[in-house]
Structure 1
Amino acid sequence: MNVAERRARLGLRHRLCPPARTDDVPEIARSTVVLHATDPATVFLSVAARSTGIGPEPVERALYDDRTLLRMLAMRRTMFVAPVELVPVLQASTANALAARQRAAYARIIERGSDITDAAAWYARAEEAAHRALLARGEATGAQLSADEPLLRTQVDPAPGKSYSRPTNVTTWILVTLGCEGRIVRGRPNGSWASSQYRWAPVEKWLPSGIEEVPAGAARAELVRRWLRAFGPAPVSDLKWWTGWNAGDVRKALAELDVTEVDLGGVTGVVLSDDLEPSPVPEPWAALLPALDATPMGWRERGWFLGDHGPLLFDRNGNIGPTVWWDGRIVGGWAQRRDGEIAVRLLEDVGSDAEAAVEREAARVRDWYGDVRATPRFRTPLERELTS
């Protein structure tokens, strides 16, 4: 399978070419398995790029009213927005193990930075107390829960003896762990859709019976199947990076599926065996994707769509900024300026038709933002230049 086939699949399956776009918000999330949500604005702007004419309101409705989407920590300890039917798979394949690691890590910090001796037992009591306080309120901010429950106001020195260390209370640690465990979820934010200050709610507000238990092995296989359908064909190393699992768990998950090895131009990739037919080639398309969009963050090896533009479009920690796409590859970057205008810089000559299409997409993004101003959480060299 050559690069042209991979780019055609990207445009169609990720709903970036106009014929594939939809106003069904959960379906947009399914098209990339999950939506990247480390930066709150990314969720909304990712939907904007893949929809035809909706604004932020349907996304908020799906998240907070219809509750067909749920925000949770999962692969690589990254925040995602997932369709609710996928939540049990993410919980069993990834989040349960993440909760255990979080709890153990925070317990070690507490023992090192406080006078609490049995930190694991104390942490368990604090979790239960926080959960009871949240159930009593129904929905609350971390500050409200801390005011209600004294254990959450416990101060810990995270780096004893270090000049930079400052005492901090454990509220966020406790709530993040409960979230990883699937007992509570991040609800509606305080502020606009670009805000990251969330209220917390019991998971039952999204899933009345709680999160269904799924065997971990079956869950990993199902998640890999969905990833291959959206991102395949791809090297196994890309899958291992995206999931954050160890090599053994990746191999076991693949063994549960019917997959075929294919040549990706000198590199071996895998694809579902029922997905070998060539994709139709869409008309050339343009898209403006936000920082940390799920498409460029779906693979570790990005050369086949990124080219040599990485130094301008990524920060030092591997976070991608806002990107301009033309026909399945990245050709530039963009940024929102303080006056609301969308500044675009093309990094190569793509022709007048492509430039006109990019301008139309920039106008769509400007209209989506409206009066909201949002700076990407992780800033990249080109984004900084365009806003200076």
Structure 2
Amino acid sequence: MYHIDDEQRRIRLGRRHLLVPSDRATSVVAVADAVVALHATDAATVFLSACARLTAPDVGAVERALYEDVSLVRLLSMRNTLFTMSRAVAPAVDTSNARRVAAKERQRLLKQLREDGNGLDERWLADVEQQTIAALAPRGRATGSELSAAVPALRTKITVFPGTKQETVQGVASRVIRVLAADGRIRRDLPRGSWTSSQFRWTAAEPWPASDPAQARVEVARRWLRSYGPATEGDLKWWTGWGVRETRDALAAIAPEEVLLDSGAVGWVVPGDLAVEPPPEPWAALLPALDPSAMGWADRTFQLPSNHRAALFDRSGNIGPTVWWNGGIVGGWAQSTNGELVWRLLSDVGKEASDLIGSEASRMSAWMGDARITPRFRTPLERELTA
């Protein structure tokens, strides 16, 4: 069996994920396509991930792609997580993942409405959704608070987890808006405040056209394998959130090449992707929490020493801000209270690496300006460095 070692995997990662300086992109769409999709649970991550891979980092370019020409779109999709991707990728992700997630979101909300015991049902929800869309139309864009002020039904309170220790009373506005967004009937627009804010305005949108789910899964799997291969069946299943049969069928349709990994596992690459790639120039990167280069595989042993995990991950398995050297995760970074970027190396990488990491931190500080970044998911090392 053809063998692709861990060093080759790290070389591929650096080049294909546009982290090597000579391979950086000139457009935000090219960045998103290179990694299939950017994690968007934390609003700042999209900007930090994109700018790390641009030859000329530019917050304005990311904002234009998200809110003006809408060449990037957000979908609640893989693993019930919010991702940002190009319009070329979105239809396949919508059919292969997002529609199923949207259906589950709707059923979850309907269950909570029924459990409340006040006669709120599917018909009530449909009416509130229609009122919300109608209220949004003349405004063009509106915050959740503005929509709640315009639609009294959005101010309805329900009891969730009744009869349990977690019982609490909550408003339905955020849940109704989440369901509308998951269905593709509204989308996030320019937020209140800076690019780091998660207080989004909302604007009307059109759902993506339906297509064949099996074909959509094949397209997503092929794109993912080009960017993340060699990788295992388990990696693809984890990243997509598909079932075993769906994952295997998608891989079989691609007819990938089988390879042996250093871990002893069987990996896959797209057909014809066996050539050895030459090492690039030395490179360093400071990537944000949940960056796709750190969240692309279930098994990250080729890039992440096991003794670094406790410092860099939270209890739910979310990775925090990371420092990279030639395709490996060697430390973490944070922003101090005065805005200075600080980092700690968990591996001894030598003076050349330390100097390049410092240069990359300076490059990052320059385009960030006065912005302040606090990851949504705090990790032990990030908290220590912030303090």
TM-score, scaled to structure 1: 0.95
Q: Which residue of 2 aligns with 1:186?
A: 188
| 8 Å contact from structure 1 (residues 114, 155) kept in 2 | no
The one-letter code matched in structure 1 to 2:273 is D
Of 134, 137, 144, the residue aligned with 1:135 is 137
Pairing 1:5–2:8 present: yes
User: How does 1:241-252 map onto structure 2 within 5 Å?
Assistant: 241-252=238-249
- Structure 2 residues without counterparts, runs of 5 or longer: none
- CA–CA distance in structure 2, aligned partners of residues 249 and 135 of structure 1: 39
Give the match for residue 201 of structure 1.
203
Which residues of 2 match residues 116-265 of structure 1 at below 5 A?
A: 116=119, 119-162=121-164, 164-204=166-206, 210-265=207-262
**1:39-95: per-residue Cα shift (whole Å, max 9, x none)?**
111111111211122221111111111211112211011111110121111111111
State whether structure 2 residue 71 is matched by structure 1 residue 74.
Answer: no
| 1:133 positional shift | 2.1
Tell which deviates more after alignment, 374-383 or 165-174. Answer: 165-174
* 1:55 maps to 2:58: yes
Measure the CA separation in 2 of the matches of 1:109 and 1:383: 36
Q: Secondary structure at the match of 1:367?
A: helix
Match of 2:68 in 1: 65
Q: What is the one-letter code of the residue matched to 1:336?
A: Q
- State the alpha-carbon separation in 2 of the partners of residues 144 and 294 from structure 1: 34
Question: What letter is aligned with 1:307?
Answer: P
Could you tell me how far apart the structure 2 residues matched to 1:188 and 1:64 are?
Answer: 6
- 1: distance between equivalents of 2:274 and 2:128? 51
1:74 and 1:190 mapped to 2: Cα distance? Answer: 24
**Over residues 291-322 of structure 1, what are the superposed CA-to-partner deviations in whole Å (9 max), with x where a residue is unaligned?**
11011111111111001211100011000011
The code of the aligned residue for 2:201 comes to: R
1:25 paired to 2:28: yes
- The residue matched to 2:208 in structure 1 has which SS? coil
Per the TM alignment, residue 277 of structure 1 is displaced from its structure 2 partner at its CA by 1.6
Q: How many angstroms does 1:164 deviate by?
A: 5.0
Q: State the partner residue of 2:46.
A: 43
TM-score normalised per structure 2: 0.96
Asked whether the equivalents of residues 104 and 120 of structure 1 are also in contact (C-alpha less than 8 Å), the reply is: no
Flag structure 1 segments of 5+ consecutive residues without an equivalent: 205-209
Q: Is the 8 A contact 1:91 1:182 kept in 2?
A: no
Amino acid at match of 2:299: E
Instruction: Report whether the alignment pairs 1:288 with 2:291.
Output: no
1:152 to partner: Cα distance:
1.4
Aligned with 1:306 (options 291, 297, 304): 304
Using the TM superposition, give the Cα deviation of residue 159 of structure 1 relative to its aligned residue in structure 2, in angstroms: 2.0
- Specify the alignment match of 1:93 in structure 2: 96
- Give, in angstroms, the shift of residue 6 of structure 1: 0.6
Amino acid at match of 2:365: R
One-letter identity of the residue aligned with 2:163: G
Rounded to whole Å, the distance in 2 between the matches of 1:294 and 1:258 is 25
1:26, distance to aligned residue in structure 2 (A): 0.7
Pick aligned residue for 1:14 from 17, 26, 50? 17
SS of the equivalent of 1:157 reads strand
Query: Which letter does structure 2 place at the counterpart of 1:292?
Result: L
State the alpha-carbon separation in 2 of the partners of residues 233 and 132 from structure 1. 48
Partner of 1:271: 269
**How far apart are the structure 1 equivalents of 2:368 and 2:375?**
13
| 1:315 matched to 2:314 | yes
1:337 partner amino acid: S
- Asked if the contact 2:33–2:89 (Cα under 8 Å) also holds between the matched residues in 1, the reply is no
Deviation (angstroms), 1:269: 0.8
In structure 2, relative to structure 1, the CA distance for the partners of 1:274 and 1:125 (3 Å cut) is: farther
SS of the aligned residue for 1:172 comes to helix
- Tell me how far apart the structure 1 counterparts of residues 57 and 12 of structure 2 sit (CA, whole Å): 24
Structure 1 moving runs of 4+ over 4 Å: none
Contact (CA 8 Å) 1:331, 1:348: kept in 2 or not? yes
CA RMSD, Structure 1 to Structure 2 (Å): 1.4
| Distance across 1 between alignment mates of 2:279 and 2:377 | 34
CA apart distance, 1:163? 5.6
Q: How many Å separate the matches in 2 of 1:164 and 1:217?
A: 39
Kept in 2, the 8 Å contact 1:72–1:186? The answer is no
CA contact (8 A) 1:76 1:243 kept: yes
| Partner Cα distance (1:360, 1:19) in 2 | 15
Residue type at the aligned position of 1:96: R
| 1:346-372 deviation digits (Å, cap 9, x = unpaired) | 112111110000000111121222111
Q: Tell whether the 8 Å contact from 1:287 to 1:361 is kept in structure 2 after alignment.
A: yes
Q: Deviations over 1:365-387 (max 9, x none)?
A: 21222111121011111111111
Who is 1:207 aligned against? none
The answer (yes or no) to whether the contact 1:133–1:148 under 8 Å persists in 2 is yes
Deviations 1:173-210 (A, max 9, x none): 11111111111111111110000010111114xxxxx5
